[in-house]
Amino acid sequence: MLLAVVLPFTACQEPEDLIPAIANKGINNLTVYPTWEGYHTADASGFPSKIDYDKHVITIQVPYTLPVESDNVQRLEDYTNVWVQFNLDDNATIEPKLTTIDLTQTYKVTLTDQKKQKSVWTIKAALAKSSACDIESFSIPSLGLSAVIDKTGATASLIYFQELQNVFGEVVVSPHAKIVPDPATTAFWCSPETPKKFTVIAQDGVTSREWTLQQTEPARVEEGIRVGSGKLLWTTKLSAAGVTKLDMTTGIAVSDDYLVLNTRGEDPLVLDAKKGTTIGTVALGSIKGTTSSYYMTSDHKGHLIINNRTPDDGGVFRVWRMRDINSTPEPFIEFATTDVYGDHISVWGDVYGDATIQAAYCGWTSTGTTSNITWTIKNGQPVSMQPYWCQISGASGWTNGDAIRLGTDETADFLAVGYSMNKLTWVDGATNTAETYIHGVLSGNEGMKAIDAVPFNGINYVAATMETFFTWGVAGDMWVFEAKYPQTFSGSLEQDTATGLMTYPDCTVFNLNNDDGNDASGCYGFYGGRANDGVNSNAIQDVKLHVTEDGYFMYAYFMFCNGYVGCVQFDCIAQ
C-alpha cells in the first residue's frame, strides 16, 4: 500500500539539472607522447599545446631541440605516430576519437560541449623554440662568490656587502638563451645600494625576463630543506671521470668547490663539485698505497681525512688530515689494533676544531657485530689516541658498515648501518641501545654500507647508499632522510612484489632511482656497478653530504664502485 502511494508522486518529478564542471572551455588541454612499437609513455616527455579559443586552433608544441639543451633540431617527420591525450570538460566529447596522430598532418575534429553545442577545431603541430629565460647560476670567480638564485623573484643574491667594481661573472642561463649584457665579456659594477640589472632572452628570441643581481641575504624556509628542491645536478661514470682500475675506488670527499674521488693506490681524482668534470688530482705523497690510502672522506668544513685499513696495512690504524686539496697529508690519529677497520670512517664537525670521528668494525663474521669506535676531537686535537669503544644492543646481525655521531661528544646519539640486516639504526649514544630504524627491504644480497649526516637549516639530515654484492638484486641506490627525532625515524624501503614500485618512510626527502626517472622497478639500480662496468664483491659505495658556507644549499654526493658518481642539490630558499 505504501509503494502504491509513493510511486505516483516520484514518477511525476522532474529530473535534476546536470551541474556543469567549473571548467567551461570544452577543451582544456591536449598533450601528445611519442610511441614506440605500439607502446606509449605518459611521463614528462609529453609535448604540450597552445590553444586559440577564438579561432578554435590547437597547436602542438614540438621542442625545436631535444633534449632542449642539445643542438639536435627536431623534424615533424620524426613524429608520424604519437599518442594524443585530450583533457575535456565533463560530458564533453570529441569526434572522431583520436588515439594516435601524425604530426605532419592537420586534423579537424568536432567538439560537443556540455551544452550540446558543436564546434569545429583544427589540430596541427609546429616546432617551438624554448621560451625559458632563467638564470641557473651566477658567480664571480675572482672573488669566489656564487649567487643564490630565486627564479620566482628573478633575483641572483650575493652574500657580499662591499662594492663590486669592474668585475666579470660566469653565468649559466636557460638552454639556448642569452644574457644582455654578458657579464663574462662586459665588466660591471654593483653595490648593496645599486643592484645590477640583466636581461635574459629566450631561445625563441621573443620571450625575455629582467633579472636583478643584488647583494643581500635571501629569505629561508622556516626549517630544513625547501620541499621539492632536490634535483640531480650531474652524474658521470667513474671510468669516464678517469678511474682506470676496477674494484679499487672506495670513497669521496668534498673540499670547497671540489669533489675528491679516492682510488686505492692512486692519487685521488679531483672533480668540479657542481659540474662533475675532472680537473686534476690530489698529491698524497708517501701515504699513497692500496692499503695505506684505503679510504677518504671530509668533515663539515671541507677538510680531507684519509685512513688506512687494518690489519692489511699492519697493526696500526692511521688517520691523516688535509686542510684542502693542495695541502700535504699530516698524521692525525694512530691506534694499535689487530681488528678490521678502515672501510669507512665518518666525521661530524671540524677536525681542526671540535669533531667526532667514528669507525665501525668492518670484518666479515658469521654472526655479525655492531662494535664501533669513536675519537673525540677538541680544539683540533684528539682527546686520546685510545678511542671510545661501544657495541650496539638491540641491533644484532650486521657487520661491515658505517656509523656517524650526531654531535661532537663521544656519547652523542649516532646512526649506524651494515650488512646484512641493512637497518639504518638510530642509537641512543648514552646507552648504546638501538631505538628506531629504517629497514632496506629489497630483494636480498645488497649491502647498505655507507652513511653521512649534516645539520642543515636547523634539521639533521642523513644519506645512505645500498649496492649489490652479486649479479642479482636491487642495487645502486641512495636515499636522503630527515633525522629530526628518533620517533619519526622509522619505516621500510620496500618494494611491492606485485607492482614493482617502492614505498618509503615519511622521513624520506629524496630517492635517487625514483627522483631521476631511473626507478629500479624490480631489477637493479641504474647507477650501480652491476648496471655498468662490473659488480664488485665488496659492494663498495660511498655517500657525502655537504652544506655550503652560506648555509643555503646542501649537496648529496654518491659513488658506486665500477658505476657512477653524482650530485644532488637541495636548498632552503623561501620562494
Here the CATH number for the domain that contains residue 262 is: 2.120.10.70
CA–CA separation, 467 and 449 (whole Å): 8
Q: What is the pLDDT of residue 420?
A: 82
Q: What is the pLDDT of residue 4?
A: 43
Please, which residues have CB within 8 angstroms of residue 169's CB and are 6 or more apart in sequence? 138, 139, 140, 183, 184, 188, 213
Cα four-point dihedral sign 155, 161, 166, 170: negative
The closest alpha carbon to 80, from 104, 47, 64, belongs to: 104
Helix H, strand E, coil C: the string for 510-551 is EEHHHHCCCCCCCCCCCCCCCCCCCCCCCCCEEEEEEECCCC
Q: What range does the domain containing 98 cover?
A: 27-128
Kindly state whether residue 15 falls inside one of the protein's structural domains. no
CA–CA separation, 305 and 307 (whole Å): 7
Q: Are 452 and 437 within one domain?
A: yes
Going by DSSP bridges, is the β-strand pair 118-128/258-263 parallel, antiparallel, or unpaired? Answer: unpaired
Q: Are 185 and 261 within one domain?
A: no
Kindly state whether residue 142 falls inside one of the protein's structural domains. yes
Q: What is the pLDDT of residue 447?
A: 86
Q: What is the pLDDT of residue 399?
A: 77
Q: Which residues sit opposite 254 in a β-bridge? A: 259
Q: Are 96 and 151 within one domain?
A: no
Q: Which residues sit opposite 69 in a β-bridge? A: none
Q: Are 156 and 275 within one domain?
A: no
CA–CA separation, 328 and 320 (whole Å): 10
Q: Are 549 and 412 within one domain?
A: yes
Answer whether 377's CB lies under 8 Å from 357's CB. Answer: yes
Q: Are 336 and 422 within one domain?
A: yes
Q: Where do we find the cell 671540535?
A: 354
CA–CA separation, 366 and 398 (whole Å): 9
Q: Are 464 and 334 within one domain?
A: yes
CA–CA–CA angle 178, 179, 185 (5° rounding): 110
Q: DSSP character for 10?
A: H
Q: Which residues sit opposite 310 in a β-bridge? A: 341
What are the Cα distances from residue 551, in Å, to 118, 218, 300, 456, 573?
Answer: 58, 11, 12, 7, 10
Kindly state whether residue 223 falls inside one of the protein's structural domains. no
What are the Cα distances from residue 360, in Å, to 61, 419, 445, 520?
Answer: 55, 12, 20, 29
Cα four-point dihedral sign 178, 184, 187, 190: positive
CA–CA–CA angle 73, 76, 82 (5° rounding): 120
Q: Are 303 and 418 within one domain?
A: yes
Q: In what order do the strands lie in the sheet with 39-40?
A: 39-40, 27-36, 82-88, 100-101
Q: What is the pLDDT of residue 6?
A: 37
Phi, psi (5° rounding) for residue 78? -85, -5
C-alpha cell at 184: 663574462
- The last residue of one of the domains, among 185, 215, 245, is 215
CA–CA separation, 269 and 264 (whole Å): 11
Residue 390, classed as helix, strand or coil, is strand
CA–CA–CA angle 381, 385, 386 (5° rounding): 140
The closest alpha carbon to 422, from 499, 472, 474, belongs to: 474
146: enclosing H helix or E strand: strand 145-146
Kindly state whether residue 16 falls inside one of the protein's structural domains. no
Amino acid at 75: R
Residue 221, classed as helix, strand or coil, is coil
CATH number for the domain spanning 166: value is 2.60.40.2340
CATH number for the domain spanning 113: value is 2.60.40.4120
- Longest distance between any two alpha carbons in the chain, whole Å: 105
The closest alpha carbon to 415, from 331, 466, 482, belongs to: 482
The closest alpha carbon to 458, from 572, 574, 303, belongs to: 572
Q: Are 315 and 439 within one domain?
A: yes
Q: Are 196 and 244 within one domain?
A: no
Kindly state whether residue 312 falls inside one of the protein's structural domains. yes
Kindly state whether residue 551 falls inside one of the protein's structural domains. yes
Q: Are 403 and 531 within one domain?
A: yes
How many beta carbons lie within 10 A of that of residue 16, not counting itself? 6
Residue 247, classed as helix, strand or coil, is coil
Kindly state whether residue 80 falls inside one of the protein's structural domains. yes
Q: Are 280 and 305 within one domain?
A: yes
CA–CA separation, 559 and 567 (whole Å): 9
Kindly state whether residue 159 falls inside one of the protein's structural domains. yes
Please, which residues have CB within 8 angstroms of residue 322's CB and are 6 or more apart in sequence? 282, 303, 304, 305, 306, 328, 329, 330
Q: Where do we find the cell 658556507?
A: 549
- The last residue of one of the domains, among 91, 111, 128, is 128
Q: Which residues of the chain have pLDDT under 50?
A: 1-22, 40-44, 517-523
Q: What is the pLDDT of residue 23?
A: 52
CA–CA separation, 59 and 49 (whole Å): 5
Residue 324, classed as helix, strand or coil, is coil
Domain tally, the chain:
3
CA–CA separation, 477 and 558 (whole Å): 9
- The last residue of one of the domains, among 182, 215, 248, is 215
